[in-house]
Structures are given as structure tokens and as C-alpha cells.
Amino acid sequence: MHARSRSAIVVGANGAIGSAIAISLAEAGCDVGLIDRVAAERTATAVAGLGRRVFDQPTDIASTAAAAATINAHVDSLGGLDILVNAAGINSFGPAADLAEIEWDRVLSVNLKAVFFCCQAAISHLRRRGGGRIISIGSVLGKNGGNARPWINPHEQVGAGNVAYGASKAGIHIMTSYLARELASSKITVNAVAPGPIATAMTSGFPDSLKALIPVGRMGEASEVAAAVRFLASDEAGFITGEVLDVNGGIWSD
């Protein structure tokens, strides 16, 4: 990936996608900091087993002060920061008519607000390094208006991501564009990966009727999202910024 060892922080390292990303970056030669609400012990063991340094500090990033503090602690431990990956996220299901304000706030707080403040906390460290990468996990649901087809089958909406989730991920996409322009002169590229349906615990209730609509005939794997992140983190992607890379099996294209 690079002549010298790089340092990466993965937020959401306990999730299937976050864990796969952390391990993939370690395989590419990165030391890795792991952030999640609880210790990411399994991921930390895998990273250490690859001979890379690892720092694992549980933090609730929904608190902006805590997000900044833990980013700083990870940078101190790793000796610098080259790559920030925002993979933390929570899902939300059901029809818009039933969506409570407290649920809206919960989803936007974790999926969008916390991601921005992690980015903000990382900027000075990346500039100090002479540049770097910010990569966030968006979603096809931030583009396509939702996978469900309630005009055909109202029950599909019960098991599919709702408007709060979609709005939070659309926010990730536009935030990526803004930060990419603002940070380009600092040699910091900012991109997002927008997965389609990925086979994880979070999508265990994904309706079979919607799985059947995926053109490649299957749900994606966390490792496939990780591969996209690893590419965007590499030197080969140095001329790519402001991009939202679809990894969705053809369920949506733009």
C-alpha cells in the first residue's frame, strides 16, 4: 500500500463490515486503531495476528466530545494518522408514518452526526501527516428511495431500512462531496462506499422478495466492501476524491 507503515482508525470495528475493513487494512500493512461501543477483541486479535500494532479503546461516538477524545487517543498510541474509516452505523426499519422522533434522532446521531465529528477530529492529524484518506460507509438506501416496494407488498417495508436510515446515509454522501473539495488542497482525499444488501447480522431480516431483485443473485459479503475501502485507501486511488463507490450487485446504478 505504501513504502512506510500507515496508521488507520476504523470506527465501528465490532460490526461485520468494520471488522472486515480493519483486517483488510492490516493485511495491507497498516497499524489499526479500533473504535466501537464495546471492545473489538476478536478484530484486535486478528490484526495483532497479522503482525500489526493495534489499539482498541471502546467509546460511544454519539458524544462529540468523546469522539474527538478517542480519535486523539488513538493517534497518540499509533504515532499518527493516515486513514480514517467511518463504518459505524445502526439500522432502522418500518414505515414513515410510524417513525418516532426519538428514533429519528437516534439514527441521525450515530449515522451522520458522529461520523462528521470523527472526520472533524481527524483533519488536523491528517494534515500533520501531509495528507491521507477519509472513507465513510454510505448506502444504496441513501440513493434509491429504499429497497422496499410498499405499493406491491406493504410488508416489505417492515424488514427494510426506513427513511431515517436513508436520510442519514444520503447525508454521508453529500458530506463526502463537501469535505473532498475542502480538504483536497491538504492532500486528503474523501470518499464513500455505498453498499447494497450485505449479509450481516444487521440484515438478517432482509426479505427474500427483495433478495430476489439483486441482479447478481446474492447478497454481498463484508469482505467485498472491505476490498473497496482498501482500494480507496491505497496510493493507486490518489486521484479519486468526492466519489461514492457503489458495491451493490447491480441493484442500483448511477
pLDDT single digits (tens) 71-112:
999 999 999 999 999 999 999 999 999 999 999 999 999 999
Query: Does a structural domain hold residue 252?
Result: no
Catalytic residue, chosen from 165, 188, 189, 206, is 165
Asked if pLDDT for residue 1 goes beyond 70, the answer is no
Query: Does a structural domain hold residue 136?
Result: yes
Query: Does a structural domain hold residue 198?
Result: yes
Bridge partners (DSSP) of residue 37 are: none
Domain holding 156: CATH number?
A: 3.40.50.720
Query: Does a structural domain hold residue 253?
Result: no
Query: Does a structural domain hold residue 212?
Result: yes
Query: Does a structural domain hold residue 254?
Result: no
| Largest distance between two CA atoms of the chain | 54
Q: Which amino acid is located at 156 in the chain?
A: E
CA separation (Å) from 7 to 4, 36, 119? Answer: 10, 17, 15
Catalytic annotation on 165? yes
Cα–Cα nearest to 73, from 55, 99, 48: 55
Count how many domains the chain has.
1
pLDDT single digits (tens) 156-207:
888 888 999 999 999 999 999 999 999 999 999 999 999 999 998 777 777 7
Query: Does a structural domain hold residue 178?
Result: yes
Integer-rounded Cα Rg, in Å, for the chain is 17
Its domain, for residue 148, covers 6-247
Q: Residue 217: which residues within 8 A CB-CB, separation 6 or more?
A: 249
| Rounded Cα distance, 76 and 92, in Å | 35
Query: Does a structural domain hold residue 221?
Result: yes
| pLDDT of 228 | 98
- Whether the pTM exceeds 0.75: the reply is yes
| Rounded Cα distance, 34 and 18, in Å | 9
As a whole-number percent, the residues of the chain with pLDDT over 70 amount to 98
Extract the C-alpha cell encoding 211. Answer: 433478495
| pLDDT of 103 | 97
Extract the C-alpha cell encoding 250. Answer: 447491480
